[in-house]
Amino acid sequence: MAVLVIAEHDNASLNDATHKVVTAAAKFGGDVDILVAGEGAGDVAAAAAKVSGVRKVVHADGASVAKQLAEAMEALVVPMMSGYDAVFIPATTTGKNIAPRIAAKLDVMQLSDITDVIDTDTFERPIYAGNAILTVKSSDAKKVITVRGTAFEAAGEDGSASVEAADAPAGPFKSEFVSEQMVKSDRPELAGAKRVVSGGRALGSKEEFDRLIVPLADKLEAAVGASRAAVDAGYAPNDYQVGQTGKIVAPELYVAVGISGAIQHLAGMKDSKIIVAINKDEEAPIFQVADYGLVADLFNAVPELTEAL
């Protein structure tokens, strides 16, 4: 048996999401190979070769896969699947974009966002915003799977796999990369952060969000998150959204500030180890999942907390 893991990276460094997917793939069993598709991503391939338990790294380097757009990734991965029983892909925006295209071409029903591998046909995944856990059995010969990173430990880095070159697919493809606007930040990345401070609608403006949430996050060396309401109102960038349809996080410490705790938000953070909620409404649903709830006006409590740390 053999499993292909598609690496998450930005051509410069290997994203930790990959290590978690390797753990899930190892639980599936068999040989685990990592595919690094990118442009000038030699360092990423080298890093992938160090991930524990990996048989080999397949490195496809070329302009057509520089941004890992789905059309080119389909052309690259589908032919490779003759040698694999399963492909495991991180449930990131890149992975979610690619995986179903591969599944449809292989005529298999994808398993999205799995949180456990029971056996080679059976998997666990949350449905209905995490309000139900589905154990599901696939009858397809090959498996196409996206993996929820928060559900698996990261694989170690004591491996020394070989790196094998593969051809990047020749274009042109019907989609073309134009540009990107990435949010620059020195903070820990939200999805893998050990601590997260999130702000909600109650902050009232981007200025207040930056004035109150950011210094608290700085003090805690935490990543910054937000509720959908805060993102929609422009207090924080899109990719800060924590929840059912945003990022899933499970840090050691999650601090929810001025967030009511709608089911869609809880879906993204309720597996955090310790949850702190600051909300002036003592009936706010967020308190039902909080380990420590502070009923207070955030405009007083947050500066005081930042000061006290």
Partner 1 sequence: MKVLVPVKRVIDYNVKVRVKPDQTGVDLANVKMSMNPFDEISVEEAVRMKEAGTATEVVIVSIGPKQAQETIRTALAMGGDRGILINTDETVEPLAVAKILAKVVAEESPDLVLLGKQAIDDDSNQTGQMLAALLDWPQGTFAYKIEKDGDALTVTREVDGGLQTVKLATPAIVTVDLRLNEPRYASLPNIMKAKKKPIDEKAPGDYGVDISPRLSVVKVTEPPVREAGEKVEDVATLVSKLKSAGAI
Is 66 a binding residue for partner 1 by CB under 8 A? The answer is: no
DSSP character at residue 244: T
Beta bridge partner(s), residue 59: 36, 165
| Interatomic CA distance for residues 221 and 34, integer angstroms | 31
Residues 6 or more apart in contact with residue 178 via CB below 8 angstroms: none
| Interatomic CA distance for residues 98 and 74, integer angstroms | 7
Of 175, 205, 281, 297, which one interacts with partner 1 (CB under 8 A)? 175
Residues 6 or more apart in contact with residue 288 via CB below 8 angstroms: 261
Residue 183 interacting entry, from partner 1, ligand FAD, none, C-beta within 5 to 8 Å by type: partner 1
Instruction: State in angstroms the smallest separation of the CB of 181 from partner 1.
Output: 5
| Interatomic CA distance for residues 112 and 156, integer angstroms | 24
**Residue nearer to ligand FAD on the CB measure, 80 or 263:** 263
Residue 170 interacting entry, from partner 1, ligand FAD, none, C-beta within 5 to 8 Å by type: none
Residue 284 interacting entry, from partner 1, ligand FAD, none, C-beta within 5 to 8 Å by type: ligand FAD
Binding part of the chain for ligand FAD, among 38-46, 93-101, 152-160, 225-233 by CB under 6 A, reads 225-233
Of 39, 264, 294, 303, which one interacts with ligand FAD (CB under 6 A)? 264
Instruction: State in angstroms the smallest separation of the CB of 116 from partner 1.
Output: 12
**172 SS3 class:** coil
Residue 131 interacting entry, from ligand FAD, partner 1, none, C-beta within 5 to 8 Å by type: partner 1
DSSP character at residue 124: E
Of 110, 198, 227, 260, which one interacts with partner 1 (CB under 8 A)? 110
DSSP character at residue 247: B
| Interatomic CA distance for residues 8 and 15, integer angstroms | 5
Instruction: State in angstroms the smallest separation of the CB of 55 from partner 1.
Output: 28
Residue 164 interacting entry, from ligand FAD, partner 1, none, C-beta within 5 to 8 Å by type: none
Binders of ligand FAD in range 173-202 (CB under 6 A):
200-202
Separation in Å, CA 244 to CA 7, 104, 255, 262, 266: 23, 24, 18, 10, 8
| Interatomic CA distance for residues 80 and 84, integer angstroms | 7
Site residues for ligand FAD per CB under 6 A: 200-202, 227-230, 241-246, 258-260, 262, 264-265, 268, 279-281, 284, 297-299
